Amino acid sequence: MEIKMNLLEKVKSLNELEYLIYVYLNKDKNRVKDLKLKDVADELHVSQSMVTRVCKKLGFDGFSEYKLHLRYTEENSQKVKSEKLNYLLDYFQRSTTESSIAQIKTVANAIVDSSEVLFFGLGLSSAIAKYAALLFNRKGFRTAFVDDMSWRVENIYDSKTLAIILTVSGETEEVNKVILNLKNRGLKVVVISNKEISTAAKLADYSIGYYVPNNRDKYFHNSATQVPVIHIIESISDEIQSLMKA
C-alpha cells in the first residue's frame, strides 16, 4: 500500500462536517482501526457514504484502506521504538566497558585541570550544551554555553580553558572551523559525537563516540537519539565529583 503524503493539504480541503469526521478518525487511531464503517457512521450520526467520502478526500480508496494505513503506521512506529530501545540498550552495555570508562575519566581529569569549560553546540546539541554548562557550573566550575559559531576567543581564553563540542555528525563545516580556531588559540578540545572517525573527532584532543543509527533528512536534521549524549555528560559530571572528593 502506498503511504499517503501531503495529508495536511488534503485536510485543508475538507468542509466543516468533513473535518469533524477527520478529527474523529484521527483522535483515537487504536480504536478506529478495529471499527466497522457502520459503527463509525452510527457514532457520528452521518451516512456511511459520508465517512467514505472523507477517507477518499484524504487520499485513500475508502475506509478499509484508511484502517490499513492506521495499522501500517502503528506497526512501523512500534518497530522503530523497539529498534531504538535495542540500540540504547546496546549503548548502555558498551558504556560499561573499560575503554568507555577510561574515556570518561580522561575527560573528567582534563576538566578538573582546566580553569574554565566552554560548551559549544548547534540545534538540538545547543540545548544539551546549555544543560551541560549549567550542570558543570553547579559542580563549581566556571562554564559558558556557546551556540554562536562566530564566537571570538582571542585574548579572552587561554590554554587552561577546555572546550567541549557537541556535534552529532562531526562533519558540520562551521563547527569544525570553530575547533580549528580553538586549537590555534591553544585551547584543549573535547568532541562528543556519534562516531570517533568523524572529522571533528579527529581534530579534537579528546573524543567520545556513542554510535547509534543516524540519518539526515532534507533539512539536515539528524535522527540520532541524544540520550547517550546526556548519559556521557552526566557520567563525566559524576566522575568529576569523585575526583574532587579524592
pLDDT of res. 79: 59
157 vs 199 pLDDT, higher one:
199
pLDDT of res. 221: 54
Round to whole Å and give the CA distance between 87 and 91: 6
Q: Identify the CA nearest to 135 among candidates 100, 181, 103, 166.
A: 166
Residue 89: is its pLDDT beyond 90? no
Residue 118: is its pLDDT beyond 50? yes
DSSP-based three-state secondary structure for 18: helix
Lowest mean pLDDT among 41-55, 93-107, 154-168, 218-232: 218-232
Tell me the angle at which helices 48-57 and 16-27 cross, rounded to the nearest 10 degrees. 80
State pLDDT tens for residues 138-173: 888 889 998 887 777 666 787 889 999 999 888 889
Dig out the grid coordinates for 104 from the structure: 570518561
pTM given for the model: 0.65
pLDDT of res. 102: 94
Average pLDDT over residues 55-83: 77
What is the Rg, in whole angstroms, of the alpha carbon atoms belonging to the chain?
25
- Terminal Cα-to-Cα distance of the chain (whole angstroms): 62
DSSP-based three-state secondary structure for 58: coil
Q: Identify the CA nearest to 143 among candidates 151, 153, 135.
A: 135
Average pLDDT over residues 222-229: 79
Residue 175: is its pLDDT beyond 50? yes
Residue 202: is its pLDDT beyond 70? yes
Round to whole Å and give the CA distance between 222 and 144: 25
Residues 6 or more apart in contact with residue 64 via CB below 8 angstroms: 37
- With left for phi above 0 and alpha for psi between -120 and 50, is residue 103 left, alpha or beta? alpha
Dig out the grid coordinates for 11 from the structure: 485536510
| Residue 78's pLDDT band (cuts 50, 70, 90) | low
Q: Which residue has the cell 475508502?
A: 62
pLDDT of res. 218: 45
114 vs 31 pLDDT, higher one:
114
Residues 6 or more apart in contact with residue 146 via CB below 8 angstroms: 118, 119, 120, 121, 129
pLDDT of res. 71: 79
